[in-house]
């Protein structure tokens, strides 16, 4: 049995093309979607992500603002900016890149984002809407992207056992909620650092979602033959043979696992490109809901 390599670049490209047409229509009606991306500090990975988000906006015709604030920015200054963006009619989505510097209380900052502009889906109002399965809320972009990949490849979820490794508010918990929802109807187990015998648990899974941030942790002995493996990890590991001195690997040991599963997302080129496509989709959705 040959393994399907899930092509997130291709799926995200098609989604972006659809969004571009939607943005053109909205713009013609005087409703150009707008996204504000806020970065505090100089974390190199965050700088790359924020750059990609702004570039994606430009490609789609979405108005964007990039706020690169110094690492010393206070909580009060950040909250003041968010209030300004909440009141700005050109802006329909507000995103504060995570993680912020340690002196910033991220949860408190998120509470200040107007939930109608919370395109990351991190505000408690949107967390509640996901749990309640209310359609007008915002779902975090990475798990939303994973669901789109399953849909694009006609991978069934109903009645399947999904094991989500990781319990973060950005990926693990929303992913579990999406899979268990009445739309997807999977049976879901959330595993984490204290789970007993993780390989044995994972071997009972039809779908594994790896979102722990530990390079190549998921090995072949975690995988039931024919399982679907979605790798959310983006880890930099030292590699002197590369021009940048590092390479990117996922949370799954791709070479070890690949032949055993029926479908797998590579890193890079799997889940990663979907995250930005879903951010664009959420921004267009926010614009529609705020300007209708």
Binding site for ligand GUN (CB under 6 A): 95-98, 120, 141-142, 170, 275
Q: In Å, how far are 7, 116, 118, 278 from 12, measured between CA atoms?
A: 9, 24, 21, 8
Nearer to ligand GUN, 198 or 281 (CB): 281
Token pair listed for 197: 């015998």
CA distance 91 to 107: 21
Residue 283 · residue 58 · CB < 8 Å: no
Nearer to ligand GUN, 142 or 265 (CB): 142
CB of residue 133 to ligand GUN, shortest distance in Å: 21
Catalytic annotation present for 197? no
Q: Are 178 and 184 in contact (CB under 8 A)?
A: yes
The verdict on whether 285 is a catalytic residue reads no
Strands 235-238, 246-249: parallel, antiparallel or unpaired by DSSP?
Answer: antiparallel
Closer to ligand GUN by Cβ: residue 170 or 284: 170
Q: Which is nearer to ligand GUN, 45 or 200 (CB)?
A: 45
Nearest to 271, CA basis, from 215, 233, 235: 233
Least CB distance to ligand GUN at residue 95 (A):
5
Nearest alpha carbon to residue 246 among 256, 255, 254, 235: 235
Q: d(Cα 287, Cα 90) in Å, to the nearest integer? A: 9
| Tokens 């040991």, residue located | 253
CB closer to ligand GUN out of 26 and 149? 149
Q: Which of 53, 129, 160, 285 is catalytic?
A: 53
Active site residue 53: yes
Shortest spacing between CB 292 and ligand GUN, in angstroms: 25
The least CB distance from residue 125 to ligand GUN, in Å, is 16
Shortest distance in whole angstroms from residue 156 CB to ligand GUN: 26
Choice among 97, 114, 160, 173 that is catalytic: 97
Q: Which residue is nearest to ligand GUN (CB)?
A: 98
β-bridge mates for residue 161, sequence order = 187
Of the residues 114, 120, 206, 251, which is catalytic? 120
Interatomic CA distance for residues 284 and 277, integer angstroms: 11
Catalytic residue numbers?
A: 53, 97, 120
């Amino acid at each position: 049995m040959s393994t399907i390599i899930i092509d997130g670049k291709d799926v995200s490209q098609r989604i972006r093309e659809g969004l571009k047409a939607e943005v053109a229509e909205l713009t013609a009606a005087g409703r150009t979607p707008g996204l504000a991306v806020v970065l505090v500090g100089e974390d190199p990975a965050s700088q790359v992500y924020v750059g990609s988000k702004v570039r994606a906006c430009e490609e789609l015709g979405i108005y964007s603002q990039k706020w690169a604030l110094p690492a010393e920015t206070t909580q009060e200054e950040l909250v003041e900016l968010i209030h300004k963006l909440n009141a700005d009619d050109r802006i329909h989505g507000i995103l504060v890149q995570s993680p912020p510097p340690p002196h910033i209380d991220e949860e408190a900052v998120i509470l200040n984002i107007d939930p109608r502009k919370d395109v990351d889906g991190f505000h408690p109002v949107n967390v509640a809407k996901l749990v309640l399965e209310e359609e007008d809320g915002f779902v975090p972009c990475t798990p939303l992207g994973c669901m789109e990949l399953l849909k694009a490849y006609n991978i069934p979820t109903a009645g399947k056992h999904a094991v989500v490794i990781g319990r973060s508010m950005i990926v693990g918990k929303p992913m579990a909620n999406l899979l268990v929802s009445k739309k997807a109807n999977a049976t879901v187990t959330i595993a984490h650092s204290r789970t007993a015998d993780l390989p044995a648990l994972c071997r009972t899974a039809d779908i594994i979602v790896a979102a722990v941030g530990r390079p190549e942790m998921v090995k072949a002995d975690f995988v039931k033959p024919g399982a679907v493996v979605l790798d959310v990890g983006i880890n930099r590991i030292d590699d002197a043979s590369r021009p940048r001195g590092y390479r990117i690997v996922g949370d799954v040991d791709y070479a070890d696992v690949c032949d055993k599963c029926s479908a797998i997302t590579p890193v890079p080129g799997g889940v990663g490109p979907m995250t930005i496509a879903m951010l664009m989709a959420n921004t267009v959705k926010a614009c529609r809901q705020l300007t209708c």
